[in-house]
Amino acid sequence: LKNIIAIAAGVADGLELGDNAKAGLLIRGIAEITRLGVAVGANPKTFAGLSGMGDLITTCSSRLSRNHFVGVQIANEKKLADILGGMKNVAEGVATSKAALVLGEKHSVQLPVTKEVVRLLFEGKKPFQSISDLMTREPTNE
């Protein structure tokens, strides 16, 4: 799921929303990843260490991240097909986003970041509106 969050982080960076907005997005992202992981039997502590938070921060911050790149391009209102067609490697978060929503529904886990990424990639939602809706939603245990 980190790759889905990296797409959202790329959108935030592409929109130049700043470090505080991106940090808030990453916190919501790790909370989302943890909720789904726990629902399928993972230990919640796994997500707080290097393999969880550490990997997420790297993937969401690196300009070399394919998924982050997709998010930046989406923020610049490029078409997904054009973005993917110009890439030599796969951005796993694109296909994973829909599958993650299905898994979340199966386990009754809300995945608001993932839902917004799906809306951005496949439903034509505008990047600023999507990030705004996500960041102004009612706070939960994040």
Spatial distance between the Cα atoms of 97 and 105, rounded to a whole number of angstroms: 13
**91 within a domain of the structure (yes/no):** yes
Cβ proximity of 95 and 1 under 8 Å: no
Q: How many structural domains does the chain have?
A: 1
What local confidence, expressed as pLDDT, does residue 140 receive? 67
Tell me, yes or no, whether 141 lies in a domain: no
Domain that holds residue 77: 2-135
Task: Give me the helices (H) in the chain, please.
Answer: 2-14, 19-39, 55-61, 66-75, 80-85, 92-106, 112-122, 127-135
Identify residue 108 by its one-letter amino acid code: S
Rounded distance, CA 30 to CA 14, Å?
20
pLDDT per residue rounded down to tens, the chain (142 residues): 999 999 999 999 999 999 999 999 999 999 999 999 999 999 999 998 887 888 899 999 998 999 999 999 999 999 999 999 999 999 999 999 999 999 999 999 999 999 999 999 999 999 999 999 988 887 666 5
Residue 110 CB contacts under 8 Å (≥ 6 apart), including other chains: 32, 35, 104, 140
Q: Determine the straight-line distance between the first and last CA of the chain, rounded to whole angstroms.
A: 16
Residue 140 within any structural domain of the chain: no
Active-site residue among 2, 22, 78, 98? Answer: 2
Residue 55 domain-assigned (yes or no):
yes
pLDDT value of position 135 = 84
CATH of the domain at 10: 1.10.1040.10
Inside any domain, residue 57: yes
Nearest to 120 by CA among 134, 141, 108, 110: 134
Catalytic site includes residue 22? no
